[in-house]
């Protein structure tokens, strides 16, 4: 089974999962680790998650910052059959969650393409370039 672990500082992981749930519905294949908000050490939270995985599970790990302590601890744990994407934002995670569907394993090339597409969503919005969004739907 393909799973997603969102691990980030404070409650950022919960915030991403909450937005995903609002847009796509609740998913049982997504787990969050909110680092440094409880007495449970981050290392134990990661170990507990690793113990919950099945033999054939593939894990897509999403972290908030490459040089951050959360990403560094995740990398150090070397979760079996996992791929890590860092620099999380909502457009990226929305794209990545669709990879959990279907039977084919997620590949590094798929992730690289998705990250490249997500980079295009990162931009400075100049107010004089803004379009009238009154006809747009809310999600």
- From the number of C-beta atoms within 10 Å of its C-beta (0-12, 13-18, 19+), residue 72 rates as middle
The residue extents of the domains of the chain are 2-124
The pTM for the full model equals 0.88
Going by pLDDT thresholds of 50, 70 and 90, the confidence category of residue 51 is: very high
Q: Which pLDDT does position 38 carry in this prediction?
A: 94
CATH of 2-124, one of 3.40.640.10, 3.40.980.10, 3.10.180.10, 3.40.50.510: 3.40.50.510
pLDDT tens per residue across span 57-70: 999 999 999 999 99
CB 83 within 8 A of CB 29: no
Sequence-distant (6+) residues with CB within 8 A of 39 are none
Give me the helix-helix angle, 42-52 and 69-77, nearest 10°.
40
* Assigned token pair, 17: 């999962």
pLDDT bracket for residue 128 (50, 70, 90): confident
pLDDT for residue 29: 94
Residue closest to 32 by CA, chosen among 45, 23, 41, 44: 45
What pLDDT is recorded for position 53?
Answer: 94
> Nearest CA to 114 among 99, 134, 130, 129?
99
Distances (CA, A) of 54 to 11, 38, 79, 80: 26, 26, 12, 10
Q: Token match 């050490």: residue?
A: 41
Q: Which residues of 95-126 are buried (b: 16+ CB within 10 A; e: fewer)?
A: bbbebbeeeeebeeeebeebeeebeeeeeeee
């Amino acid at each position: 089974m393909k799973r997603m672990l969102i691990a980030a500082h404070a409650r950022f992981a919960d915030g991403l999962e909450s937005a995903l749930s609002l847009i796509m519905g609740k998913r049982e294949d997504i787990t969050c680790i909110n680092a440094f908000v409880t007495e449970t050490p981050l290392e134990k939270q990661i170990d507990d998650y690793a113990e919950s995985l099945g033999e054939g599970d593939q894990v897509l790990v999403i972290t908030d910052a490459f040089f951050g302590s959360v990403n560094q601890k995740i990398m150090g744990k070397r979760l079996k059959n996992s791929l890590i994407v860092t620099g999380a934002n909502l457009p990226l995670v929305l794209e990545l969650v669709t990879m959990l569907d279907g039977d084919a394993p997620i590949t590094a090339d798929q992730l690289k393409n998705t990250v490249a597409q997500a980079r295009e969503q990162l931009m400075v919005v100049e107010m004089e370039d803004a379009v009238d969004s009154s006809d747009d739907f809310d999600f």
